[in-house]
Amino acid sequence: MAKRIDVSDLNIYYGSFLAVADVSMTIEPRTVTALIGPSGCGKSTFLRTLNRMHEVIPGARAEGKVVMDGVDMYASDVDPVAVRRHVGMVFQRPNPFPTMSIAENVLAGVRLNNKRISKGDAQDLVERSLQGANLWNEVKDRLDRPGSGLSGGQQQRLCIARAIAVRPQVLLMDEPCSALDPISTLAIEDLIAELKNDYTIVIVTHNMQQAARVSDRTGFFNIAGTGKPGRLIEIDDTTTIFSSPHEQATEDYISGRFG
Amino acid sequence: MSLTPTRRPEGAEPSLTPAESMTHGRASLANRAFARLSTASGVTILALLAAVTVFLVIEALPAVTTSPAELAERISWFPETGGILGYVGPLVFGTLLAALIALLIGTPLAIGIALFISHYAPRRLAQGLGYLVDLLAAIPSVVYGLWGSLVLAPRIVPVQDLLAQYLGWFPLFDGPAAQPARTVFTVGVVLAVMILPIITAVCREVFLQTPRLHEEAALALGATRLEVIRTAVLPFARSGIISAAMLGLGRALGETMAVLMILSPGFAYSFALLQAGQHQTIAANIANQFPEANTAGVSTLIATGLVLFVITLAVNMLARWVVSRRADFSGAN
């Protein structure tokens, strides 16, 4: 069910301000693509255009093509709500619904999609999703407790369980570990390696070691200066990017000479 | 309200040695003064509440201790049988009934308006609309009373007739509907309008405070706008909505002038909303009888006021209990 995404000539705007210019890339199915770059370079903005979450900000829009499995997600007859049902997202800060129990959180997406689900199926799905997110053993005895009572790392894995419960084709992660301690980060990174077998994953990270550890391909975004749009400088196999990048800017960034 | 900490520019501190500035700086004086001031404000509210309670209890005592027969003899409008409880009972019933109708009509409407302002309307329209709703609160209750009795009561007659005709089998809408509609139904409608601003304002603020993160979590799962409201906004706002409704209920319970001017009073335990001369509220009754009451009458009226006070307190405590029951699941942690 993992899908390939082709982005071509994508320009992203906030009102009249061009935030990200001219991005083209191909994201292969069942791979992890990491997006790295300095703050404000537009990598998160770009990520949010992949499930049309970008446009929930007033005035924000994108021009260009994002084709998933032959369908242009920005075609006029495409419903952004439907896009988001196929492209799941995990955010920077864990955001389980505070008014729902752990089990309800996992089922939130399924309930939204207006599917009637029997009690047994629901229990199976909760168990399967939580196991998929490596969280089952830690929470199986307290599925009816609020999700907000878990630790930050557990909450983030709960959010991943919630995202994969609807069986998306692509999973977007926006700095999923930036609010977590190293142990929880490790748990998430292990999880990403497992999820890769079933999903296409795009992850934005500030942490270059993390990009090197988890990803197959790495894209480097950069910005020429304040007020200028962010651009994709290069994207290549992770090993290439971290050993012999083609662009000088990439080399400077990953060797810590700036940013 | 600004949350930016005020930072003193460097060098603005008068030249004190470190030891001096650590013990008796000007800041610590201001700090202590403010602490006292806010403590004093807190104590004032307690003292006021105590003063009102003591006043009510002392003034109501004669009515409670005097025998019902004597009260009936001295007060022209006091019932021959039933005593003080028999007198206050129908009033409590009427008060709760009118407030409940107001709440049932007002709360859903207020939530709808608040959601429209916070999540649907374009920003400029939302601001204007919010301002208009606040303006409703600025209308004096006597004006609502005039409007209710002169404009609404004659014009609501067809609605009442319709209800009586088609839902008359249901005790609440038992006919014939009064004409003009000086009924508890009309009162409920006017009270609903009166409590609309406070409920809307509180709900709007609560809805706007829904964490962006939770709304985005719902959106990213493929939620429509309605589903975002259902999964992220309303659960987060639940306790706020209850608080808002209770604030509105408090206002509806105590509303005097509008009720007095619209309602044709009566002292029955009647669920017939569309009939006149069946109900009266505590507050309107006090205002109605007070000018011509003798000593015993005033004491009796104050006793009914004490009951209203207790009801309002109970309603508020109930609301707090409802809110705290699911504190674990609130957005606060």
pLDDT digits (tens, 9 = 90+) for B50-71: 999 999 999 999 988 888 888 8
Contact present, B297 and B289 (Cβ < 8 Å): yes
Is B270 domain-assigned?
yes
Q: Do B221 and A97 touch (CB under 8 A)?
A: no
Q: Do A84 and B222 touch (CB under 8 A)?
A: yes
Contact present, A71 and A156 (Cβ < 8 Å): no
Q: What is the pLDDT of residue A212?
A: 93
Q: What is the pLDDT of residue B4?
A: 45
Contact present, A236 and A216 (Cβ < 8 Å): no
* ipTM value: 0.90
Q: What is the pLDDT of residue B333?
A: 41
- Residue B236: closest C-alpha in chain A: A99
A and B: number of Cβ contacts within 8 A: 84
Mean pLDDT of chain B: 86
- Domain residue ranges in chain A: 5-96+170-254
Partner residue facing B217 (CB), from A58, A95, A166: A95
Residue A59, pLDDT > 80, answer yes
Residue B2, pLDDT > 60, answer no
Instruction: Read off the CATH number of the domain in which B142 is found.
Output: 1.10.3720.10
- Residue B230: closest C-alpha in chain A: A112
Contact present, A156 and A133 (Cβ < 8 Å): no
Q: What is the pLDDT of residue B5?
A: 47
Which residues have C-beta within 8 Å of that of residue B229, sequence separation ≥ 6? B115, B119
CATH topology of domain A5-96+170-254: Rossmann fold (3.40.50)
Q: Do A112 and B222 touch (CB under 8 A)?
A: yes
Q: Do B220 and A85 touch (CB under 8 A)?
A: no
Q: Do B221 and A163 touch (CB under 8 A)?
A: yes
More confident residue, B178 or B26: B178
Tens of pLDDT along B204-253? 989 998 888 999 999 999 898 899 999 899 988 888 898 889 889 988 99
- B-facing residues of A in 225-254 (CB < 8 A) are none
B231: which chain A residues are within 8 Å (Cβ-Cβ)?
97, 108, 112
Is B121 domain-assigned?
yes
- Average pLDDT of span A102-118: 85
Q: Of B246, B231, B241, nearest to B205 (Cα)?
A: B241
Amino acid at A104: E
The residue segments making up the domain with residue B131 are: 88-329
Q: Do B231 and A97 touch (CB under 8 A)?
A: yes
Partner residue facing A97 (CB), from B217, B220, B222: B217
Tens of pLDDT along A183-229? 888 888 998 998 999 999 999 998 899 999 999 999 999 998 888 89
A82: which chain B residues are within 8 Å (Cβ-Cβ)?
222
Among B125, B213, B221, pick the best mutation site for testing chain A contact (most A Cβ within 10 A): B221
Q: What is the pLDDT of residue A44?
A: 92
- Average pLDDT of span B179-198: 92
Helices B83-115 and B282-289 sit at what angle, rounded to 10 degrees? 120
Residue B332, pLDDT > 50, answer no
More confident residue, A228 or B14: A228
Q: Do A99 and B329 touch (CB under 8 A)?
A: yes
Q: What is the pLDDT of residue B20?
A: 59
- Using CA atoms, how far residue B260 sits from A76, B5, B265, B333, in Å, is 59, 50, 8, 46
Put simply, whether A103 touches B (Cβ < 8 Å) is no
- Average pLDDT of span B257-284: 89
Q: Do A149 and B221 touch (CB under 8 A)?
A: no
- Residue A168: closest C-alpha in chain B: B221
Tens of pLDDT along A165-176? 988 989 999 999
Reduced to 3 states, what is the DSSP secondary structure of residue B37? helix
Q: What is the pLDDT of residue A114?
A: 64
Contact present, A31 and A5 (Cβ < 8 Å): no
How far off is chain B from A57, nearest CA to CA, in Å? 10
- Average pLDDT of span A120-147: 90
The β-bridge partners of A215 are none
Note the Cα B142 to chain centre separation in Å: 17
Partner residue facing A95 (CB), from B214, B223, B329: B214
Give the model's confidence band at B3: pLDDT under 50 very low, under 70 low, under 90 confident, else very high.
very low
How far off is chain B from A188, nearest CA to CA, in Å? 18
Q: What is the pLDDT of residue A8?
A: 92
Q: How far is the C-alpha of B247 from the C-alpha of B236, rounded, in Å?
A: 19
Q: What is the pLDDT of residue B298?
A: 92
Amino acid at B77: W
Residue B21, pLDDT > 60, answer no
Put simply, whether A102 touches B (Cβ < 8 Å) is no
Put simply, whether A149 touches B (Cβ < 8 Å) is yes
Residue whose structure tokens are 């609807």: A166
Put simply, whether A78 touches B (Cβ < 8 Å) is no
Put simply, whether A64 touches B (Cβ < 8 Å) is no
A98: which chain B residues are within 8 Å (Cβ-Cβ)?
214, 235-236, 329-333
More confident residue, B214 or B322: B214
Is B306 domain-assigned?
yes
- B-facing residues of A in 188-217 (CB < 8 A) are none
Q: Of B122, B258, B291, B124, nearest to B182 (Cα)?
A: B258
Q: Do A93 and B235 touch (CB under 8 A)?
A: no
Give the model's confidence band at B327: pLDDT under 50 very low, under 70 low, under 90 confident, else very high.
low
Q: Do B331 and A81 touch (CB under 8 A)?
A: no
Q: What is the pLDDT of residue A112?
A: 83
- Average pLDDT of span B170-194: 88
- Residue A104: closest C-alpha in chain B: B231
Put simply, whether A96 touches B (Cβ < 8 Å) is yes
Q: What is the pLDDT of residue B151?
A: 93
More confident residue, A259 or B231: B231
Residue A58, pLDDT > 90, answer no
Domain count of chain B?
Answer: 1
Helix (H) or strand (E) holding A201: strand A200-204
Q: What is the pLDDT of residue B11?
A: 46
Which residues have C-beta within 8 Å of that of residue A154, sequence separation ≥ 6? A135, A138, A139, A184
